[in-house]
Amino acid sequence: MPIYTRPLQENRFVAFCQENGIVACLPLKKSLRVKKQISNGNEYQYAKTVLRPMFPSYVFAKLNPDQRSLVFRSNAIVHILSEELGA
């Protein structure tokens, strides 16, 4: 079930789930980050490969009814999307 998290809190929420025995999935994709720097009057840039969430602010988790209340204690989520949205 999809869970909407606060911005940039996906990894924190997945770590919380792992600590509490909840199965959670955060699909990641590789992204190239280019940064420009100026040091001692010289300008240079470098590229770094980083892993970013494929769906920003969303984590997918398998929850039973008892775990739903536990998940809200993480303080990293906004709400849980319902499975009945398409119905």
Determine if residue 29 is left, alpha or beta; phi over 0 gives left, psi from -120 to 50 gives alpha, anything else beta: beta
Q: State the average pLDDT over residues 62-79.
A: 86
Average pLDDT over residues 28-51: 90
- How far apart, in whole angstroms, are the C-alpha atoms of residue 59 and residue 53? 9
The type of residue at 14 is V
Rg, C-alpha atoms of the chain: 18
Give the mean pLDDT of 27-56: 91
Domains in the chain (CATH in brackets) are: 2-86 (3.30.70.940)
* Strands 23-25 and 58-62, bridge-based pairing: antiparallel
Q: Please, which residues have CB within 8 angstroms of residue 36's CB and are 6 or more apart in sequence?
A: 43, 44, 45
Q: How far apart are CA 45 and CA 51, in angstroms?
A: 19
Looking at the chain, the whole-number percentage of residues with pLDDT higher than 90 is 52
